[in-house]
Chains A and B, each alone.
Chain A
Amino acid sequence: MKFGVVIFPGSNCDHDTFYVLRDIFKQDAIFLWHKEHDLKNVDCIILPGGFSYGDYLRSGSIAAFSPLMQEVKEFAFKGGLVLGICNGFQVLLELGLLPGAMLRNKNLKFLCQYVHLRVDNTDTPFTSTAKKGQVLRIPIAHYDGNYYSSPETIQEVKKNNQTVLRYSDARGRLSDEANVNGSLECIAGLINKSGNVMGMMPHPERASEALLGSEDGRIIFESLIKSLG
Protein backbone atom coordinates (compact mmCIF):
# COMPACT_ATOMS: atom_id res chain seq x y z
CA MET A 1 0.00 0.00 0.00
CA LYS A 2 1.57 3.26 -1.06
CA PHE A 3 0.17 6.68 -0.25
CA GLY A 4 1.18 9.89 -2.00
CA VAL A 5 0.81 13.16 -0.11
CA VAL A 6 0.83 16.13 -2.46
CA ILE A 7 2.69 19.30 -1.52
CA PHE A 8 1.73 22.68 -2.97
CA PRO A 9 3.42 25.93 -1.97
CA GLY A 10 1.43 26.83 1.14
CA SER A 11 0.36 23.30 2.15
CA ASN A 12 0.78 23.01 5.90
CA CYS A 13 -0.81 19.70 6.88
CA ASP A 14 1.36 17.66 4.52
CA HIS A 15 3.78 16.50 7.22
CA ASP A 16 0.99 15.78 9.72
CA THR A 17 -0.74 13.58 7.16
CA PHE A 18 2.52 11.89 6.22
CA TYR A 19 3.30 11.30 9.90
CA VAL A 20 -0.08 9.69 10.56
CA LEU A 21 0.25 7.38 7.55
CA ARG A 22 3.83 6.35 8.17
CA ASP A 23 4.31 6.48 11.94
CA ILE A 24 0.84 5.64 13.23
CA PHE A 25 -0.47 3.33 10.52
CA LYS A 26 2.93 2.04 9.36
CA GLN A 27 2.09 2.60 5.70
CA ASP A 28 4.40 3.30 2.83
CA ALA A 29 4.05 7.02 2.10
CA ILE A 30 5.81 9.50 -0.15
CA PHE A 31 5.52 13.19 -0.87
CA LEU A 32 4.58 14.34 -4.37
CA TRP A 33 5.66 17.83 -5.45
CA HIS A 34 3.03 19.81 -7.36
CA LYS A 35 5.36 20.45 -10.31
CA GLU A 36 5.98 16.78 -10.98
CA HIS A 37 4.18 14.74 -13.61
CA ASP A 38 4.78 11.32 -12.12
CA LEU A 39 2.51 9.83 -9.46
CA LYS A 40 5.17 7.19 -8.70
CA ASN A 41 2.78 4.26 -8.62
CA VAL A 42 0.95 5.29 -5.47
CA ASP A 43 -2.32 3.52 -4.63
CA CYS A 44 -3.95 6.52 -3.00
CA ILE A 45 -3.45 10.27 -3.29
CA ILE A 46 -4.05 12.61 -0.38
CA LEU A 47 -4.33 16.36 -0.94
CA PRO A 48 -3.52 17.85 2.46
CA GLY A 49 -4.83 20.92 4.21
CA GLY A 50 -3.20 24.32 4.15
CA PHE A 51 -3.32 27.46 2.09
CA SER A 52 -2.01 26.53 -1.32
CA TYR A 53 -0.79 29.64 -3.14
CA GLY A 54 -1.91 31.74 -0.19
CA ASP A 55 -5.57 31.17 -1.15
CA TYR A 56 -4.99 33.69 -3.97
CA LEU A 57 -7.85 34.11 -6.45
CA ARG A 58 -10.03 31.45 -4.74
CA SER A 59 -9.05 28.79 -2.21
CA GLY A 60 -7.56 25.88 -4.11
CA SER A 61 -7.95 27.43 -7.55
CA ILE A 62 -4.30 27.92 -8.53
CA ALA A 63 -3.31 24.51 -7.15
CA ALA A 64 -5.93 22.91 -9.40
CA PHE A 65 -3.96 24.12 -12.43
CA SER A 66 -0.65 22.57 -11.31
CA PRO A 67 0.98 19.89 -13.51
CA LEU A 68 0.61 17.15 -10.90
CA MET A 69 -3.12 17.76 -10.52
CA GLN A 70 -3.66 16.98 -14.20
CA GLU A 71 -2.14 13.56 -13.46
CA VAL A 72 -4.31 13.25 -10.36
CA LYS A 73 -7.35 13.95 -12.52
CA GLU A 74 -6.37 11.10 -14.86
CA PHE A 75 -5.71 8.86 -11.86
CA ALA A 76 -9.17 9.65 -10.48
CA PHE A 77 -10.87 9.02 -13.84
CA LYS A 78 -9.27 5.56 -13.86
CA GLY A 79 -10.78 4.85 -10.44
CA GLY A 80 -7.78 5.74 -8.23
CA LEU A 81 -8.55 6.73 -4.64
CA VAL A 82 -8.19 10.44 -3.91
CA LEU A 83 -8.86 12.12 -0.56
CA GLY A 84 -8.84 15.91 -0.22
CA ILE A 85 -8.67 17.31 3.28
CA CYS A 86 -9.69 20.93 3.90
CA ASN A 87 -7.71 22.87 1.26
CA GLY A 88 -7.46 19.56 -0.57
CA PHE A 89 -11.29 19.45 -0.70
CA GLN A 90 -11.27 22.99 -2.13
CA VAL A 91 -8.75 21.90 -4.77
CA LEU A 92 -10.96 18.94 -5.77
CA LEU A 93 -13.93 21.28 -6.21
CA GLU A 94 -11.91 23.72 -8.30
CA LEU A 95 -10.59 20.83 -10.36
CA GLY A 96 -14.14 19.68 -11.01
CA LEU A 97 -13.57 16.21 -9.53
CA LEU A 98 -16.29 17.00 -7.00
CA PRO A 99 -19.43 19.05 -7.67
CA GLY A 100 -20.04 22.48 -6.13
CA ALA A 101 -17.91 25.26 -4.67
CA MET A 102 -16.91 26.76 -1.35
CA LEU A 103 -18.09 30.12 -0.08
CA ARG A 104 -16.79 32.06 2.89
CA ASN A 105 -18.09 30.75 6.26
CA LYS A 106 -21.54 32.14 7.03
CA ASN A 107 -20.27 34.13 10.03
CA LEU A 108 -17.24 35.45 8.08
CA LYS A 109 -14.93 33.99 10.69
CA PHE A 110 -12.01 31.64 10.39
CA LEU A 111 -13.28 28.61 12.31
CA CYS A 112 -10.75 26.55 14.25
CA GLN A 113 -12.59 24.16 16.56
CA TYR A 114 -13.82 20.63 17.13
CA VAL A 115 -17.03 19.73 15.31
CA HIS A 116 -19.28 16.69 15.33
CA LEU A 117 -19.83 14.83 12.09
CA ARG A 118 -22.48 12.29 11.32
CA VAL A 119 -21.43 9.52 8.96
CA ASP A 120 -24.34 9.20 6.54
CA ASN A 121 -22.73 6.88 4.03
CA THR A 122 -20.52 3.98 5.08
CA ASP A 123 -20.54 2.36 1.66
CA THR A 124 -17.36 4.18 0.64
CA PRO A 125 -13.64 3.32 0.74
CA PHE A 126 -13.20 6.30 3.11
CA THR A 127 -15.81 5.38 5.74
CA SER A 128 -16.32 1.61 5.45
CA THR A 129 -15.14 0.95 9.02
CA ALA A 130 -17.64 3.42 10.50
CA LYS A 131 -21.18 2.58 11.51
CA LYS A 132 -23.98 4.37 9.70
CA GLY A 133 -25.08 7.32 11.81
CA GLN A 134 -21.91 7.21 13.91
CA VAL A 135 -20.84 10.62 15.21
CA LEU A 136 -17.18 11.58 14.91
CA ARG A 137 -15.44 14.40 16.73
CA ILE A 138 -12.78 15.94 14.48
CA PRO A 139 -11.43 19.51 14.28
CA ILE A 140 -11.93 21.97 11.44
CA ALA A 141 -9.74 24.97 10.57
CA HIS A 142 -10.94 26.98 7.60
CA TYR A 143 -12.27 30.25 6.27
CA ASP A 144 -13.97 28.96 3.13
CA GLY A 145 -15.92 25.85 4.08
CA ASN A 146 -19.46 26.96 3.36
CA TYR A 147 -20.38 24.35 0.77
CA TYR A 148 -22.58 25.52 -2.09
CA SER A 149 -23.95 24.02 -5.26
CA SER A 150 -26.84 24.70 -7.58
CA PRO A 151 -30.29 23.26 -6.66
CA GLU A 152 -30.02 20.75 -9.53
CA THR A 153 -26.59 19.59 -8.43
CA ILE A 154 -27.54 19.21 -4.79
CA GLN A 155 -30.55 17.13 -5.77
CA GLU A 156 -28.30 14.85 -7.77
CA VAL A 157 -25.81 14.67 -4.88
CA LYS A 158 -28.54 13.68 -2.43
CA LYS A 159 -30.07 11.17 -4.79
CA ASN A 160 -26.71 9.43 -5.20
CA ASN A 161 -26.01 9.39 -1.47
CA GLN A 162 -22.85 11.48 -1.99
CA THR A 163 -23.16 13.36 1.30
CA VAL A 164 -20.84 11.20 3.37
CA LEU A 165 -20.19 13.42 6.40
CA ARG A 166 -22.54 16.07 7.78
CA TYR A 167 -22.10 18.63 10.56
CA SER A 168 -24.30 17.59 13.48
CA ASP A 169 -24.48 17.83 17.25
CA ALA A 170 -22.94 15.21 19.55
CA ARG A 171 -26.02 13.02 19.15
CA GLY A 172 -26.05 13.20 15.37
CA ARG A 173 -28.87 15.71 15.02
CA LEU A 174 -28.61 18.28 12.25
CA SER A 175 -29.28 21.92 13.08
CA ASP A 176 -28.33 25.42 11.96
CA GLU A 177 -26.31 25.76 15.14
CA ALA A 178 -24.28 22.62 14.49
CA ASN A 179 -23.79 23.61 10.86
CA VAL A 180 -21.05 26.02 11.88
CA ASN A 181 -19.98 27.29 8.46
CA GLY A 182 -23.41 27.36 6.82
CA SER A 183 -22.84 24.52 4.36
CA LEU A 184 -25.69 23.51 2.12
CA GLU A 185 -27.28 20.33 3.53
CA CYS A 186 -24.72 20.50 6.39
CA ILE A 187 -22.17 18.91 4.04
CA ALA A 188 -18.76 18.37 5.65
CA GLY A 189 -17.62 15.48 3.47
CA LEU A 190 -18.63 14.75 -0.11
CA ILE A 191 -17.85 11.87 -2.43
CA ASN A 192 -18.00 11.76 -6.23
CA LYS A 193 -20.58 9.72 -8.08
CA SER A 194 -18.23 6.85 -8.81
CA GLY A 195 -17.17 6.68 -5.17
CA ASN A 196 -13.39 7.00 -5.44
CA VAL A 197 -12.83 10.72 -4.75
CA MET A 198 -13.77 12.28 -1.43
CA GLY A 199 -13.31 15.76 -0.01
CA MET A 200 -13.76 16.67 3.64
CA MET A 201 -13.29 19.95 5.50
CA PRO A 202 -12.46 18.42 8.93
CA HIS A 203 -8.91 17.22 9.59
CA PRO A 204 -8.74 13.47 10.35
CA GLU A 205 -4.93 13.70 10.60
CA ARG A 206 -5.35 16.01 13.59
CA ALA A 207 -7.55 13.45 15.34
CA SER A 208 -5.59 10.23 15.01
CA GLU A 209 -3.88 10.07 18.41
CA ALA A 210 -5.41 10.12 21.90
CA LEU A 211 -2.68 12.58 22.88
CA LEU A 212 -4.19 15.16 20.55
CA GLY A 213 -7.70 14.87 22.00
CA SER A 214 -9.50 12.59 19.59
CA GLU A 215 -8.87 9.41 17.64
CA ASP A 216 -12.02 9.59 15.56
CA GLY A 217 -10.09 10.61 12.46
CA ARG A 218 -8.50 7.16 12.39
CA ILE A 219 -11.68 5.79 10.86
CA ILE A 220 -10.94 7.56 7.58
CA PHE A 221 -7.39 6.17 7.32
CA GLU A 222 -8.39 2.71 8.59
CA SER A 223 -11.14 2.53 5.99
CA LEU A 224 -8.72 3.54 3.22
CA ILE A 225 -6.12 0.99 4.31
CA LYS A 226 -8.80 -1.71 4.49
CA SER A 227 -10.12 -0.94 1.03
CA LEU A 228 -6.64 -0.91 -0.48
CA GLY A 229 -5.65 -4.09 1.33
Chain B
Amino acid sequence: MKVRILVSLKDSVLDPQGQTVRNALHTLGYESIKDVRQGKVFEIELEGVSQEEAAKVIPEISDKVLANPIIEKFSWQILEKG
Protein backbone atom coordinates (compact mmCIF):
# COMPACT_ATOMS: atom_id res chain seq x y z
CA MET B 1 0.00 0.00 0.00
CA LYS B 2 1.28 3.45 -0.85
CA VAL B 3 0.27 6.45 1.22
CA ARG B 4 0.96 10.15 0.79
CA ILE B 5 1.13 12.32 3.91
CA LEU B 6 1.06 16.11 3.74
CA VAL B 7 2.54 18.08 6.63
CA SER B 8 2.23 21.85 6.78
CA LEU B 9 2.26 24.63 9.35
CA LYS B 10 -1.02 25.19 11.17
CA ASP B 11 -3.12 28.09 9.87
CA SER B 12 -2.47 29.95 13.13
CA VAL B 13 1.31 29.78 12.58
CA LEU B 14 2.97 32.36 10.34
CA ASP B 15 4.68 30.81 7.31
CA PRO B 16 7.41 33.22 6.18
CA GLN B 17 8.64 30.78 3.52
CA GLY B 18 5.19 30.59 1.95
CA GLN B 19 4.93 34.39 2.08
CA THR B 20 8.28 34.77 0.34
CA VAL B 21 7.18 32.40 -2.42
CA ARG B 22 3.94 34.37 -2.80
CA ASN B 23 5.88 37.64 -3.05
CA ALA B 24 8.14 36.15 -5.71
CA LEU B 25 5.09 35.03 -7.68
CA HIS B 26 3.68 38.56 -7.44
CA THR B 27 6.97 39.94 -8.75
CA LEU B 28 6.62 37.62 -11.73
CA GLY B 29 3.19 39.06 -12.43
CA TYR B 30 0.99 36.32 -10.96
CA GLU B 31 -1.20 38.82 -9.13
CA SER B 32 -4.00 36.30 -8.64
CA ILE B 33 -1.96 34.27 -6.14
CA LYS B 34 -3.55 35.22 -2.85
CA ASP B 35 -1.69 33.02 -0.40
CA VAL B 36 0.97 30.30 -0.36
CA ARG B 37 1.55 27.80 2.44
CA GLN B 38 4.59 25.58 2.20
CA GLY B 39 4.78 22.04 3.55
CA LYS B 40 6.36 18.63 3.27
CA VAL B 41 5.27 15.49 1.44
CA PHE B 42 6.01 11.96 2.60
CA GLU B 43 5.32 8.97 0.39
CA ILE B 44 5.26 5.85 2.48
CA GLU B 45 5.01 2.23 1.44
CA LEU B 46 3.39 -0.17 3.85
CA GLU B 47 3.55 -3.94 3.73
CA GLY B 48 1.12 -6.54 5.04
CA VAL B 49 -1.39 -4.15 6.57
CA SER B 50 -5.09 -3.75 5.97
CA GLN B 51 -6.65 -0.38 5.21
CA GLU B 52 -7.98 -0.24 8.77
CA GLU B 53 -4.54 -0.90 10.20
CA ALA B 54 -3.04 1.77 7.97
CA ALA B 55 -5.70 4.19 9.18
CA LYS B 56 -4.36 3.60 12.67
CA VAL B 57 -0.64 3.63 11.93
CA ILE B 58 -0.49 6.68 9.63
CA PRO B 59 -1.99 9.23 12.06
CA GLU B 60 0.11 7.73 14.83
CA ILE B 61 3.45 8.16 13.02
CA SER B 62 2.38 11.57 11.70
CA ASP B 63 1.64 12.80 15.20
CA LYS B 64 4.66 11.22 16.79
CA VAL B 65 7.37 11.72 14.17
CA LEU B 66 6.51 13.31 10.82
CA ALA B 67 4.78 16.40 12.18
CA ASN B 68 5.32 18.48 15.31
CA PRO B 69 1.73 18.93 16.56
CA ILE B 70 2.63 22.20 18.27
CA ILE B 71 3.19 23.96 14.94
CA GLU B 72 2.13 21.53 12.21
CA LYS B 73 -0.94 19.70 10.91
CA PHE B 74 -1.14 16.71 8.59
CA SER B 75 -3.47 15.03 6.15
CA TRP B 76 -3.08 11.79 4.22
CA GLN B 77 -4.43 9.80 1.32
CA ILE B 78 -3.98 6.31 -0.08
CA LEU B 79 -2.20 6.41 -3.46
CA GLU B 80 -2.16 2.68 -4.17
CA LYS B 81 -4.09 0.01 -2.39
CA GLY B 82 -1.89 -2.94 -1.43
Contact = CB atoms under 8 A, between A and B. Distances in A.
B68 A149 contact: no
Given A108-B20, A148-B71, A103 B66 contact: no
Interface string A96-136: 00001101101110000000000000000000000000000
The size bracket of the interface on B is 10 to 19
A124 to B, nearest CB: 23
Main secondary structure of the interface of A (DSSP, over half): loop
Interface of A: 57-58, 61, 65, 94, 100-101, 103-104, 106-108, 148-150
Contact of A65 (B16, B65, B66): B65
B16 to A, nearest CB: 5
Contact of B16 (A58, A61, A101, A106): A106
Contact of B17 (A57, A108, A148): A108
A103 B70 contact: no
Main secondary structure of the interface of B (DSSP, over half): mixed
B20 to A, nearest CB: 6
Given A103-B14, A150-B70, 19 more contacts: A57-B65, A57-B66, A58-B68, A61-B65, A61-B68, A65-B65, A94-B68, A100-B70, A101-B68, A101-B70, A103-B13, A103-B16, A104-B16, A104-B17, A106-B16, A108-B20, A148-B13, A148-B70, A148-B71
Nearest to B16: A108
